[in-house]
Amino acid sequence: MSRSVGAADAIGRADRSLAAQIYDELRRRIIEGEIPAGTWLRERELAEEFSVSRIPLREALPQLEAEGFIVTHPRRGAVVRELTVRDATEYFDVKSSLEVLAARSAASRVRAGADTARLGGAWAAAQAAMAAGDDRAIAEANARVHDEIVELADNRLLASSLRPLHGLQRWFFGVTSDRDQTALAQEHAALVAAICDGDVEYAGSLAYAHIEKSRRESLPLLAERLPAG
Amino acid sequence: MSRSVGAADAIGRADRSLAAQIYDELRRRIIEGEIPAGTWLRERELAEEFSVSRIPLREALPQLEAEGFIVTHPRRGAVVRELTVRDATEYFDVKSSLEVLAARSAASRVRAGADTARLGGAWAAAQAAMAAGDDRAIAEANARVHDEIVELADNRLLASSLRPLHGLQRWFFGVTSDRDQTALAQEHAALVAAICDGDVEYAGSLAYAHIEKSRRESLPLLAERLPAG
DNA sequence: GGGATTGATCTTGTATACCATATGCCGCAC
DNA sequence: GTGCGGCATATGGTATACAAGATCAATCCC
């Protein structure tokens, strides 16, 4: 079978394996709500849609299950999981712990002489986006600030632990989140400053406050549109 | 091909999927050192050894990669990763954060009326094993105490975040770890008491001290036998 | 003699066809 | 109305074939 040119071209001709591309594509569709909770995912159906054989799907679907996006029912198929308020609570709990660690580690590494150029650059981009008033750009810049903090923390295990949380976040909130992106950027300002100062304790406290503020603002909104779980 | 009865019977006839069984078996072999770091894992070779087709392996190997046990080189195969001191440091950092959360959450749930019977039972088993002087049993009971704390915390996301750490722990230390299991059990005593009292702050502090003590005792020993990374 | 090239070989990546088996549903008998 | 049996369907798994990237060694040219 040729590699699909027409309708199924959602998966491009990237140099990555088909399984990885399909994983990415399905993950994106679930996160962005194109595939709503409760949808059944059938191997052969998806294989046909993507114009691939079942093999790549048999690698991609278990990965999606491992990250908690779908639940597999043996011999019945996989169904997209439904997010609940409980998931959100768990998310904020774990996120809080790990983000504090990231902020503290980043500050600690700065104290040990790490380069803050990239983080500074990301933060500058956020400021520029704020000045321009481009909400989408602010959201993207905020996300990059976050990524750069994790990068600066230089802990691969931490980064891999945060990855599923990142997916959850976008699943919950979409790209922009419920919060005012400008307010988010303001909080980032203090956090970035503390990290660049190498102030471990302060950076950790700010990160904690940052997440807890998000929790308090977002949870009530989520509770309105999500089942309790 | 029939389902293997002879030498390949490491994977039993459990009701789980072949991929899951093979994942478990490979994971166990890596963790227990039967497959040393640097070993190349070849699909067809393993398929033949386990008397299965390549399909289950194509599901199992990506899972092992996702959990950090192997590194896949496209079109070359997968190689068992080598643990480094850096991995150990990262492990303790993340472990510290998440175990504190587990202890605090567990205590908080007790305060809200959760049942402590299972945790109490696990702790009683550890005491019994200590009285009997059975080191292996103490180690197992200690592990169960830990599991019950996570269970009591009742946070599935936290539990799934801790799972890879648990694998890392056994990979680093084997079943018994480097530490004196009786000393470990003593520390568990105070932690379990604090949790059962619903004392959130104290439980968190004890969990933190517990991990940091492990770090300080174990890291120098690991540094002797692991490359720096 | 040394470095670039080519080709053999190994391994994964993917497709295809087929069989086995569990699950759920529908309709029939009672 | 209820219980049972069979059928449709989906995954779980096997076998096989072929394509293509990676490696390495032999070879060829200068």
CA distance B150 to A111: 34
Q: Which two tokens stand for residue A142?
A: 């905020």
Quote the pLDDT of residue A3: 42
User: A88-92 contacts: CB < 8 A, separation 24 or more?
Assistant: A88/A172, A88/A218, A88/A219, A88/A222, A88/A226, A89/A219, A90/B155, A90/B156, A90/B157, A90/B158, A91/A165, A91/A168, A91/A169, A91/A172, A91/B157, A92/A211, A92/A212, A92/A214, A92/A215, A92/A219
Q: How many of the other CB atoms lie within 10 Å of CB of A117?
A: 9
Cα separation, A79 vs A34, whole angstroms: 14
Strand partners, B41: B78
The pLDDT value recorded for residue A11 is 47
- CB-neighbour burial class of residue B51 (10 A; exposed 0-12, middle 13-18, buried 19+): middle
Tally Cβ neighbours within 10 Å of residue A215.
Answer: 18
pLDDT at A9 (0 to 100): 46
So what's the pLDDT on residue B14?
57
Distance from CA of B133 to the nearest CA of A (A): 36
CA count, 13 A, side-chain hemisphere, B191: 31
- Please report which helix (H) or strand (E) contains residue B70, including its range: strand B70-73
**Contact A158/B at CB under 8 A:** yes
B174 CA to C16 C1' in angstroms comes to 44
- Which of A21, A22, A58, A59 should be substituted to probe chain B, the one whose Cβ sees the most B Cβ atoms within 10 Å? A59
Whole-angstrom distance, CA of residue B187 vs CA of residue B122: 14
B158 closest CB neighbour out of A93, A160, A168: A93
End-to-end CA distance of chain B: 43
> How long a stretch of residues is chain B?
229
Residue B1: what pLDDT?
40
Query: How many CA atoms are closer than 13 Å to the CA of B121, on its beta-carbon side?
Result: 7
Å between A123 CA and nearest CA of chain B = 26
Say which DSSP state B135 is in: H
HEC readout, A44-61: HHHHHHHCCCHHHHHHHH
pLDDT of res. B5: 34
CB-nearest partner of A90 from B17, B68, B155: B155
Residue B16, token pair as written in the block: 């789980």
* Interface list for A 175-194 with B (CB within 8 A): none
Q: Kindly report the nearest CA distance between residue A89 and chain B, in angstroms.
A: 9
Name the DSSP letter for residue A15.
S
Q: How many CB atoms lie within 10 A of CB A134?
A: 14
**Cβ-contact A226, A84 below 8 angstroms:** yes
Q: Which of B93, B100, B156 sits opposite A158 (nearest CB)?
A: B93
Closest CA to A147 of A162, A134, A137, A135: A162
D13 C1' to B4 CA distance, Å: 14
Q: What is the pLDDT of residues B176-200, one digit of tens each?
A: 777 777 888 888 999 999 999 999 9
User: Is A75 touching B (CB cutoff 8 A)?
Assistant: no
Say if the Cβ atoms of A87 and B157 lie within 8 Å.
yes
Pick out the nucleotide with least CA–C1' distance to A1: C15
DSSP A54-92: HHHHHHHHHHHHHTTSEEEETTTEEEEPPP-HHHHHHHH
CB contact under 8 A, B93 and A105: yes
CA distance A15 to A33: 27
User: What residue of B is the nearest CA neighbor of A59?
Assistant: B59
Q: Are A83 and A213 in contact (CB under 8 A)?
A: no
Ordered per-residue pLDDT tens for chain B, 229 residues: 444 433 344 444 556 889 999 999 999 999 999 999 999 999 999 999 999 999 999 999 999 999 999 999 999 999 999 999 999 999 999 999 999 999 999 999 999 999 999 999 999 999 999 889 888 888 899 999 999 999 999 999 999 999 999 999 999 988 777 777 788 888 899 999 999 999 999 999 999 999 999 999 999 999 998 898 7
Ordered per-residue pLDDT tens for chain A, 229 residues: 334 433 344 444 556 889 999 999 999 999 999 999 999 999 999 999 999 999 999 999 999 999 999 999 999 999 999 999 999 999 999 999 999 999 999 999 999 999 999 999 999 999 999 889 888 888 899 999 999 999 999 999 999 999 999 999 999 988 777 677 778 888 899 999 999 999 999 999 999 999 999 999 999 999 998 888 7
Residues whose CB is less than 8 angstroms from the CB of residue B218 and which lie 6 or more positions away in sequence, other chains included: B88, B172, B173, B177, B178, B179
